[in-house]
Each structure stands twice: as structure tokens, then as C-alpha cells.
Copies of this chain bind each other. A is one copy, B any other.
Amino acid sequence: MAKSLHLTAFMRPVSLHTGAWRYPGAYADANFNFQHLKSFAQKLEAAKFDAFFMADHLAVLNMSVEALKRSHTVTSFEPFTLLSALAGVTEKIGLAATASTTYDEPYHIARRFASLDHISGGRAAWNIVTTSNPDAARNFGHDEHAEHGERYKRAREFYDVVTGLWDSFADDAFIRDQESGIFFDPEKMHVLNHKGDELSVRGPLNIARPVQGWPVIVQAGQSEPGRQLAAETAEVVFCAPRDIAGAKTLYADIKGRMAAAGRDRDHLKILPAAFIVLGETVEEAKAKRAQLDSLVHYDSAIASLSIALGHDASGFDPDGPLPETPETNASKSGRAQLLKLAEEEKLTVRQLAQRYGGYSGLAFVGTPKTVADEMEAWLAQEAADGFTVVFPFLPQGLDDVTQKLVPELQGRGLFRRDYEGATLREHFGLPRPANRFFS
């Protein structure tokens, strides 16, 4: 096939949608039940997804008690343990773990990803995050959260150290000659001896070079330093444009920065997050989403809406249209998006609040054909190299995508019918990095 899509699944065990655990048929216990996660990963592998991508947080999310008690985000599996367990029960699908450069040590991170890559036969990916949740700081001995620029400075150096540790051994260092008794060639071991502004790490790593050379590098930052870090280092970008116009701008910007950094633009895949709701008809898909949104509790929803509008919405008539409110210093583009949404879909205050409180990002809602049309357009117009799929509810939303949308995409030659390689790099068509210390 010529140009085709890459698809990863962005997973929280229950879904990212706030109301999903209440949807009919949902696994409300998915945050405690590995068997559900195993079934999700195996279904995604059967559908030939590039990767299973585990979202993560380093704290219970900061929200009001009223919202928190309704939120399934309060408990979840930890990514390394979950993805390693999934490595044991899958064979081909990539396994992407979120890991923070702000609250962990490069030696641990390098070692865990290398180990996951060896265990899975070359299927690991590292989603580099700098952790923007200030509550995380207090779980790691800090009163104050490091500011944005400082976090990105450490992240850049952290990346250099981790990739340097992965290169501790040449690929052919381990001779394992039982006759002579030589296990490895010490000339092919490099001691990093890194001493930088933020980090001091001696090395070598106590694990052989990963199967993929380096696990695939993923990043989500859309800020100025985030884009630059991605252009210099990332191989997959997970982003959240609101529409195709915004996506095209972001795509061109990051690929342009890559060229400036001397990198081949095909060596980074841009995969916007897309919330996908499918129905037999567009109306049925919209009705499913409306039903899902209706499961978001009004008290939590209206609190989120008030913050987004920069105006207390709790006194509004829930069943009336959104009243005029004065513009404030609250996020202007977010507010404009809300007003547009309320007008276009003729949503009541309640519906708007529940939509916003449920999942506020890019959504493709329609039939397998209409959603495939949208995906095809994004690919053709260089708005995306594929998508980071967000399921509205599980297992049904995942089954809809794997059983209905994927065959539609395969029929159009837009998605693989089988894995062609064994490693995640091969699924993405990414080169295996050279070892910086050994040629």
C-alpha cells in the first residue's frame, strides 16, 4: 500500500470519558481487573493496531469531592507493571508506557524500558512526559512544582542520558562463548559518565541494548518547548488538535522543525487523539454519544463548564440554551469553541456541560464509512499520519472500532491487514537507531 494510517489505542482501563463506567455493558471494575485489559490488548492486536498506549498520572487528580467521588480516574494500574503483564499475553502489538522525566531517575527509566523491550521482543515505546500536575510534586517530596521551562530543560537532558544508557553495550557485545568462558567483550561496553546541569549518571546500564536499539520515543507536548523537543527527539507525536485546520498547522510546524534539526520528516509519525463513536447511522452514533454524555453528573459537569467559560454557570437553566456571558480572562479559544459547539449542535446548558465534562477533544462520530472518510482526508491533507484512538466506552466502543472501522480502512488500503514486522519500529516504519558509541 502507498500511504497508510497508523493507529494506537490511548487507554485508561475504563475509558477517558468521565461517564464511561456507567454506560450499559461497561466494565466498571476494569481498573482492578487485569483480565479485561488482557482482552482489550488481544482484540487490538487481532485488529493489527500499532500499539496499546497507557495513559498515566502521578497523583489522584485534583477535583472537588463531588466530582472525585464520581470519577473512575482515582485508581488505575501502573503502566510498567500493566504493559509488562500484557507483553506476556500478546505477540506483536506495541506497548507504550508514559513515564515522567520530572519525578523519576534516568537509570530506572532506561532500565525498565530496556527490560520491557527485551521481554516483549522489541515492542516498547516511551511516552516522555514532564508531568504538569502540581499535586504530583507533593507525592515526591517537593512543595512546589518545577516550572515549565525547567521541566523541559531536565527532560531534554534526561532523554540524552536515557538514550546514552541504552547504548551502554554494542549490539554484538554478548559473545556468550561457553567454550572459552567469555560472556561479553568489555571493549564493547561504554561507561556514560554523564555530568550535566540537571543530572549526574555514571552507567553503564546493567542490561543489554534493547531489541529495537532504543524503544520508540513518543511525546505529547504542544507548547513551544514541547514542539521543539518533539522535533529533535520524538518518533511519534500524540497531540490534540481541535480540527483539521489546527492539525495541519501543527503537522507542518513540527515536520518543519524536524527538517531544521536535520531529521527525515518520515521518521516522526503525528497521531492526533481521536474519540471515535460509531453507529449504523450518523444519528445513531450521535445518540450513543448523547447517551454517554448524559451519564456525566450535572454537578461535576457544570463546575467544569463554569471554569471553561470563566463565569459561574450553576444558576443557568439546565434545559435552556446557553445565555450570553461576558468574555473574561479564561481561555479565550476554549470559550469560543464552546459557544460554537452550543450553537451548531443546539445544545442545552446541561448537554453542553456534560459534553465538555465527558470528553472535550476531537471526536469522529458517525458510521464506519463517514469516520473512514474523515481519517482518509486527514491523512491526504497532511493533518495526521494516523490517530491515537480514544474509545468512548469499553468493551463496546473498542469492538466497534476493531470490528467495523478497521475492516473499512483495510478495504480502502488505508490500514494493514497483518503485521509485516515483529517490532514496534517495524510497525511504524521507523529506523533502528545507530549506537552512538559503537558503529
Taking Cβ atoms with an 8 Å cutoff, the residues of A that contact B are 19, 21-22, 26, 28-29, 31-32, 34, 38, 57-60, 65, 68-78, 80-89, 103-105, 107-108, 111-112, 114-116, 118-121, 135, 138-141, 169, 174, 176, 178, 181-186, 189, 199-204, 206-208, 295, 297
* Closest residue of B by beta carbon distance from A111: B78
How far is B120's CA from A19's CA once the two chains are assembled, in angstroms?
A: 28
By a CB distance below 8 angstroms, the chain B residues around A77 are 115, 118-119, 207
- Asked if B201 contacts A75 (CB within 8 A), the reply is no
Which of B26, B81, B104, B183 interacts with A84 by CB under 8 Å?
B81
By a CB distance below 8 angstroms, the chain B residues around A88 are 34, 38, 84-89
CB contact under 8 A between A183 and B69, given known A21-B176, A81-B84, A88-B89 = yes
A-B contact pairs, 10 of them (CB 8 A): A32-B208, A69-B184, A73-B206, A74-B183, A80-B80, A80-B112, A81-B119, A82-B119, A139-B202, A141-B200
How far is B324's CA from A42's CA once the two chains are assembled, in angstroms?
A: 66
- Asked if A75 contacts B169 (CB within 8 A), the reply is yes
By a CB distance below 8 angstroms, the chain B residues around A199 are 141
Sorted from nearest, which 4 A-B pairs have the closest CB atoms? A88-B88, A84-B84, A78-B115, A138-B202
How far is B208's CA from A83's CA once the two chains are assembled, in angstroms?
A: 18
By a CB distance below 8 angstroms, the chain B residues around A81 are 80-81, 84, 87, 112, 115-116, 119
How far is B21's CA from A103's CA once the two chains are assembled, in angstroms?
A: 37
By a CB distance below 8 angstroms, the chain B residues around A174 are 32, 75
- Asked if B108 contacts A183 (CB within 8 A), the reply is no
- Asked if B206 contacts A76 (CB within 8 A), the reply is yes
For the complex formed, measure the closest distance between the CB of A197 and the CB atoms of chain B, giving whole angstroms. 12
Give the interface centre of A84, A178, A184 by most chain B CB atoms within 10 Å. Answer: A84
* Closest residue of B by beta carbon distance from A296: B181
By a CB distance below 8 angstroms, the chain B residues around A69 are 182-186
By a CB distance below 8 angstroms, the chain B residues around A74 are 183-184, 189, 206
- Asked if A181 contacts B295 (CB within 8 A), the reply is yes
For the complex formed, measure the closest distance between the CB of A88 and the CB atoms of chain B, giving whole angstroms. 3
Which of B32, B105, B201 interacts with A118 by CB under 8 Å?
B32
By a CB distance below 8 angstroms, the chain B residues around A115 are 77-78, 81-82
CB contact under 8 A between A201 and B139, given known A75-B207, A108-B104, A112-B80 = yes
How far is B183's CA from A19's CA once the two chains are assembled, in angstroms?
A: 10
- Asked if B206 contacts A59 (CB within 8 A), the reply is yes
- Asked if A181 contacts B297 (CB within 8 A), the reply is yes
By a CB distance below 8 angstroms, the chain B residues around A186 are 65, 68-69
- Asked if B107 contacts A105 (CB within 8 A), the reply is no
CB contact under 8 A between A82 and B84, given known A69-B183, A206-B57 = yes
CB contact under 8 A between A21 and B76, given known A85-B88, A139-B202 = no
* Closest residue of B by beta carbon distance from A206: B60
- Asked if B85 contacts A178 (CB within 8 A), the reply is no
How far is B135's CA from A89's CA once the two chains are assembled, in angstroms?
A: 36
For the complex formed, measure the closest distance between the CB of A293 and the CB atoms of chain B, giving whole angstroms. 13
By a CB distance below 8 angstroms, the chain B residues around A87 are 34, 81, 85, 88
How far is B104's CA from A260's CA once the two chains are assembled, in angstroms?
A: 38
- Asked if A58 contacts B107 (CB within 8 A), the reply is yes
For the complex formed, measure the closest distance between the CB of A52 and the CB atoms of chain B, giving whole angstroms. 13
For the complex formed, measure the closest distance between the CB of A308 and the CB atoms of chain B, giving whole angstroms. 21
* Closest residue of B by beta carbon distance from A182: B69
For the complex formed, measure the closest distance between the CB of A28 and the CB atoms of chain B, giving whole angstroms. 4
